[in-house]
Amino acid sequence: MEDERLGLPSASQMEIIANCPGSVAMLKLSNLPPEESSPEADRGTKIHAARETGLTLELTEDELADYNRGISRETLLLAQWMQDREIPEGITETHLEERLWLHWPETLQPACSARLDVHYVAEGHVLIVDWKAWRSPPSNKSWQLRVTAACAYREYDAKTVRVAFCKYAAFRDGKDYTDLTQKDLRRLEGGIFGAIKRSEMPDAQRNAGDWCFFCRARGFCPEGIAFTQLPEIKRPDPAEAVKFMPLPDVAAVYRKRYIVDRIFEAIRERFDGLTDEQLKEIGLKRTMGRKLDSVTDTTGARAFLQSQGFFADEIDACTSFGKEALINLIRAQKDLPKEEAERWLDRELDSFITRGRAKPSIVEIER
């Protein structure tokens, strides 16, 4: 497939390139296969596609909730920008998923590009809204936003550019923006050109840092491995982390539990399809499954135990009825629908039932 970035750095790669110029050479040497998609990336792609087309039919309920949150945050960002720039209603141009370029000043050849999720242009001012799930550096420190801002500055000869993150899955701090004047933008541009030039030098330095977690070389780069294994970088004990997390964040994670479950189910399925050798290569092995034996011939077992001198009431104390099986029996014997069979069991066997309840569930409040 044709590379629309022409093999040049893009805004999304700039976070790593600017912080670790040596990453470019490291990745060129590595001959990595194309990056595999992930459930989280697929989800982001679907939500971005919905923003571009306005079609939300493909979204699940959970994705639609994120999408709607993103739309309302973008609407607030737009209203705030129009008010701050004194832009009258109805003159704003909206652009979706456009790729803009930054060119070397000496040769006018392309230097890098940025694909902007959404940007608005009016009276020489530009607002760039970048849709993110939740994780990103602050907008005033983001290299990705710097590149998008510099590209838009040159494309529109902009008087000002506002770059904003619209974090659709974040429950707090969902809007974060930074204003840039022409002076700021020219300085930014110089910084971007400098970062690209540094990354092209044969002995470009590798610097490890938080960006290593997003670098595809982190599995084999010595600096990346050393950094990500540092004890202070290792993730804390989950139970401790949950204890100190702000409650809205705990709720946000709780709402994602089905995705997490699905991820583990998919991992399990993939492991089931691997041979023992393949598992060994990644440091895993298959063990015998937990025993699930149960005494199904209870009549025979009861007779045998009695023949061995066990008392009938002691044997009965070890026996319990499966509720589902009992309901099925009542349905068949009395020719009742399921709900009525359940009610019959509840009423008629009341004196034989020890009542109890599972722990309460935590669910969304209906609004």
User: Which residues here bind ligand SF4, judged by CB under 6 A?
Assistant: 16, 20, 22-23, 26, 206, 208, 211-212, 215, 217-218, 221, 223-224
Instruction: Give ∠ CA 89-87-163 in degrees, rounded to 5.
Output: 115
Q: Both tokens of residue 62?
A: 């959970």
Please identify the residue of the shown chain whose CB is closest to the bound ligand SF4: 224
Q: Both tokens of residue 121?
A: 């242009």
Would you say 22 or 44 has its CB closer to ligand SF4?
A: 22
Would you say 220 or 258 has its CB closer to ligand SF4?
A: 220
**Cβ-contact 161, 141 below 8 angstroms:** no
Would you say 77 or 217 has its CB closer to ligand SF4?
A: 217
Would you say 9 or 224 has its CB closer to ligand SF4?
A: 224
Check the CA dihedral 16-151-198-34 and report its sign.
positive
Would you say 20 or 341 has its CB closer to ligand SF4?
A: 20
Spatial separation of the C-alpha atoms in residues 241 and 235, rounded to whole Å: 9
- H helices of the chain, where? 11-19, 23-30, 39-53, 61-84, 143-156, 182-200, 222-228, 238-244, 247-255, 257-272, 276-281, 298-307, 312-317, 323-334, 338-348
Q: Both tokens of residue 35?
A: 């990056």
Would you say 131 or 211 has its CB closer to ligand SF4?
A: 211
Q: What is the DSSP letter of 117?
A: E
Minimum distance from residue 213 beta carbon to ligand SF4 (Å): 9
Q: How far, in whole angstroms, is CA 15 from its chain's centroid?
A: 19
Instruction: State how beta strands 125-132 and 93-103 pair.
Output: unpaired
Minimum distance from residue 217 beta carbon to ligand SF4 (Å): 4
Please name the amino acid found at residue 202.
Answer: P
Please name the amino acid found at residue 121.
Answer: V
Q: How far, in whole angstroms, is CA 230 from its chain's centroid?
A: 24
- Number of CB atoms found within 10 A of residue 273's CB: 7
**Cβ-contact 268, 262 below 8 angstroms:** no
Minimum distance from residue 23 beta carbon to ligand SF4 (Å): 4
Would you say 10 or 178 has its CB closer to ligand SF4?
A: 10
Minimum distance from residue 294 beta carbon to ligand SF4 (Å): 51
Q: Both tokens of residue 190?
A: 């110089």
Minimum distance from residue 227 beta carbon to ligand SF4 (Å): 6
Minimum distance from residue 144 beta carbon to ligand SF4 (Å): 15
Minimum distance from residue 224 beta carbon to ligand SF4 (Å): 2
Q: Both tokens of residue 356?
A: 């109890």
Q: Both tokens of residue 223?
A: 């600096």
Would you say 78 or 217 has its CB closer to ligand SF4?
A: 217
Minimum distance from residue 4 beta carbon to ligand SF4 (Å): 24
Would you say 170 or 221 has its CB closer to ligand SF4?
A: 221
Minimum distance from residue 226 beta carbon to ligand SF4 (Å): 9
Torsion of CA 71, 77, 82, 88, to 10 degrees: 10
Beta bridge partners of 115: 99
